[in-house]
Homo-oligomer: A and B are copies of this chain.
Amino acid sequence: MPSRKRAYPFVSAGDADIARTAAIFADPARAAMLTTLLDGQPHAISELARCADIALSTASEHVARLRSIGYVETQRRGRMNLVLLVQHDVVTAMEAIARIAPRVPVSSLRGDERRRSLERARLCYDHLAGELGVELFASLTRQGALRTIAIPKNSRKVHAGLGAVTLGPRAKCTFKALDIDLDEVRCSHRQFATACVDWTHGRPHLAGALGSSLRDRFERTRWVERTHETRALRITPAGRRALARLFAIDL
């Protein structure tokens, strides 16, 4: 962060003000609040304060700032003030930053019930992760809906050993059956489909716009349900049946 307001150097005239924007995400508390908001649901400010482990007054100030730049909108519900993420490109930016970010060491949740439910099925930003996400990715690849492209040998940097993800020959059919309109997904300005390595299983799950749509589909049809204030997901009986029928997955 600048220690002094500087004149902007020539190179950035007419360009985007990257520094000022990155500063929004550069605070742990704000980043935690935004991460919570990535799920697309409205959250009370007090809840965001708890997520970020800061005083309510501080959280309120952060929300005011995020609102002033148009990232979130707030809506009074009784005496609560619900916060909703409305600038969807924020998701893209956070995903891109996350790709080059080191992982926060996971130490606090060892061996208990909570950890097991997170390993089973959870949200990773706004897409499905955990065993559920990993198995879905594998199934979609098996049935030819997704294709992973091997990295060419002359590539300079190998990103966690993963190639790119594109649609396979059966994509249209598979996603149509899931009521997902691929053209509409493409219209989101974020990375269309990408693989994200799961910290619980070390195998890839589907991220990007397509991953988000898939998660949306799973939630709308109540194949999975949110659990209170964690990112763990509960797979419903209907979800279990759908997984077996459509993806040959038995968790």
- Give residues in A with beta carbon < 8 Å to B: 1-2, 6-32, 35-36, 51-53, 86-90, 92-109, 118, 124, 149-152, 155-157, 159, 162-164, 166, 183-184, 186-192, 194, 199-200, 230-231
Contact = CB atoms under 8 A, between A and B. Distances in A.
A102 B16 CA distance: 6
24 contacts: A1-B27, A2-B29, A8-B32, A8-B104, A9-B28, A9-B29, A9-B51, A9-B52, A11-B32, A12-B32, A13-B104, A13-B109, A16-B99, A17-B103, A18-B25, A18-B31, A19-B31, A21-B101, A89-B159, A92-B99, A95-B96, A162-B189, A163-B187, A192-B192
Contacts of A189: 99, 159, 162, 164, 191, 194
A32 B231 CA distance: 37
A21 B162 CA distance: 21
- Residue in A30, A31, A53, A109 whose Cβ sees the most chain B Cβ within 10 Å: A31
A206 B189 CA distance: 13
- Residue in A8, A11, A13 whose Cβ sees the most chain B Cβ within 10 Å: A11
A240 to B, nearest CB: 25
